[in-house]
Structure 1
Amino acid sequence: MHKNEIIEGDSALILRSLPESLIDLVVTDLPYLVNYRGREGRRLENDDNPDGVLPVFAPMARAMKPNSYAICFTGWTALPQFAAAWEAASLKIVSQIVWKKGYSSRRGYTQYRHETAYVLAKGKPQKPAHPLPSVMDWVYSGNRQHPTEKAVEVIAPLIRCFSKPGDLVCDLFSGSGSTSVAAALNQRNYLGIDIDPQHCATARTRLAGVARFQDSEVAA
Structure 2
Amino acid sequence: MTSPLTYELFNEDYQHILDHKVKGDLLIIDPPYNINIGDNEWDNDFDYEELFGVLKETLATDGTILLFNPPQNLVLLIKLIEQFEFELQDLLLWQKPNIVPSYIRSQGYTTKGREYIFYLTHKGKKPYFKLHSFKKYHDGIYKYPRVTSNNRVHICQKPNNLIEDLIMRHSKPNDLVIDLFLGSGVSAKVASQLRRHFIGYENDLETYNQIIGVLKS
Query: TM-score category by the smaller chain?
Result: 0.7 to 0.9
How is 1:31-42 mapped onto 2 (pairs within 5 angstroms)? 31-37=32-38
- Please, which runs of 5 or more residues in structure 2 have no aligned partner? 1-5, 132-136
Structure 1, residues 70-108: CA drift from partner, whole Å, max 9, x if none? Answer: 001100112222222233222221112212222334357
In structure 2, relative to structure 1, the CA distance for the partners of 1:54 and 1:142 (3 Å cut) is: farther
* Match in the other structure for 2:119: 119
CA distance in 2, matches of 1:186, 1:127: 16
Corresponding residue to 2:45 among 34, 37, 49: 49
Is the Cα–Cα contact under 8 Å of residues 54 and 82 in structure 1 kept in the other structure? no
* Match in the other structure for 2:60: 65
Structure 1, residues 168-209: CA drift from partner, whole Å, max 9, x if none? Answer: 101111111111111111111111112211111122222223
Is the Cα–Cα contact under 8 Å of residues 174 and 194 in structure 1 kept in the other structure? yes
| Number of residue equivalences | 200
Corresponding residue to 1:77 among 67, 72, 76: 72
Structure 1, residues 3-49: CA drift from partner, whole Å, max 9, x if none? Answer: 4121122212x1221215x2111012121110111xxx6x262x111
In structure 2, relative to structure 1, the CA distance for the partners of 1:126 and 1:101 (3 Å cut) is: closer
Identity of paired residues, percent?
A: 21
In structure 2, relative to structure 1, the CA distance for the partners of 1:44 and 1:73 (3 Å cut) is: farther
Task: Confirm whether residue 27 of structure 1 aligns to residue 33 of structure 2.
Answer: no
CA distance in 2, matches of 1:100, 1:198: 30
- Please, which runs of 5 or more residues in structure 1 have no aligned partner? 210-220
* Match in the other structure for 1:94: 89
Question: What displacement does 1:50 show?
Answer: 2.9
In structure 2, relative to structure 1, the CA distance for the partners of 1:44 and 1:169 (3 Å cut) is: farther
User: Helix, strand or coil: the match of 2:162?
Assistant: helix
Is the Cα–Cα contact under 8 Å of residues 139 and 153 in structure 1 kept in the other structure? no
CA distance in 2, matches of 1:54, 1:30: 12
CA distance in 2, matches of 1:30, 1:132: 25
* Match in the other structure for 2:3: none
Deviates more, 1:166-175 or 1:81-90: 81-90
* Match in the other structure for 1:140: 146
RMSD: 2.2
* Match in the other structure for 1:214: none
* Match in the other structure for 1:177: 185
Give the alignment's TM-score, normalised by structure 2: 0.83
